[in-house]
Amino acid sequence: MSVCQERDKSIPCVDTMPEILIRPATLEDTEFLVSGNANMALETEARALDTHTLRAGVCAVFDDPARGFYLIAELDGQPAGQMMITYEWSDWRNGAFWWIQSVYTLRESRGRGVFKALYSHVESLARESGAVCGLRLYVEAHNQRAQAAYERCGMREAVYRMFEVDYSIEPRHS
């Protein structure tokens, strides 16, 4: 049994809304996750991702549970949305923040509560764990629709700004 299969048993499968099932992603969901991530990058940042790199990145999460985990939202037995959780240790709080990432809902499933169901499930898992001190995410500055959805779930804009050096698109300096 793979680490991924063992981990899947620790993340419960829950019906959060009558027609939406939230379940742990499995290796069989890899192409759905790759497609969702690629579509999200195109829609929010007009950025075409390299699918070979993206697929390797998705599989890396399954290979090493310390990197995080994916959830799938199903409508009528079919994948309709996705979310990835990664971890950030906070020494100030002596706890871990769960970062919500790689959120995507199929166009035809939008407006049906898919994100809300995913978020509610993650919030329940986080609270029940006892080791999670909060949830965080970042959002493209002009994506007002996503920001409104996050606010409806009870999230608030943080006081922090994000800075980065992205070695995957910027040259490394010696």
- What pLDDT, on a 0 to 100 scale, did the predictor assign at position 168? 85
- The yes-or-no verdict on residue 6 having pLDDT over 60 is no
R_g over Cα of the chain? 16
Alpha helices in the chain (DSSP H): 3-10, 30-45, 51-63, 114-129, 144-152
Give the whole-angstrom CA distance, residue 72 versus residue 80.
Answer: 7
Q: Provide the 8-state DSSP code for 152.
A: H
Give the whole-angstrom CA distance, residue 37 versus residue 58.
Answer: 9
Give the whole-angstrom CA distance, residue 83 versus residue 104.
Answer: 7
Give the whole-angstrom CA distance, residue 125 versus residue 91.
Answer: 21
Find how far residue 13's CA is from the centre of its chain.
Answer: 16
Give the three-class secondary structure for 144.
helix
pLDDT band at 150 (very low <50, low <70, confident <90, very high): very high
Give the three-class secondary structure for 165.
coil
pLDDT in tens, 90-136: 999 999 999 999 999 999 999 999 999 999 999 999 999 999 999 99
Enter the pTM of the model. 0.85
Element (H, E) at 20: strand 20-24
The total of structural domains in the chain comes to: 1
What range defines the domain where residue 40 resides? 3-152
Residue 167 lies in a domain: no
The residue-averaged pLDDT of 54-80 equals 97
- Cβ(92)–Cβ(44) below 8 Å: no
Residue 159 lies in a domain: no
- What pLDDT, on a 0 to 100 scale, did the predictor assign at position 70? 98
Name beta bridge partners: 21: 15, 74
Q: What's the CATH number where 31 sits?
A: 3.40.630.30
Residue 174 lies in a domain: no
- The yes-or-no verdict on residue 5 having pLDDT over 80 is no
Residue 166 lies in a domain: no
- The yes-or-no verdict on residue 3 having pLDDT over 80 is no
- The yes-or-no verdict on residue 7 having pLDDT over 90 is no
Residue 173 lies in a domain: no
Q: What mean pLDDT is reported for the chain? A: 89
Residue 7 lies in a domain: yes
Give the three-class secondary structure for 102.
strand
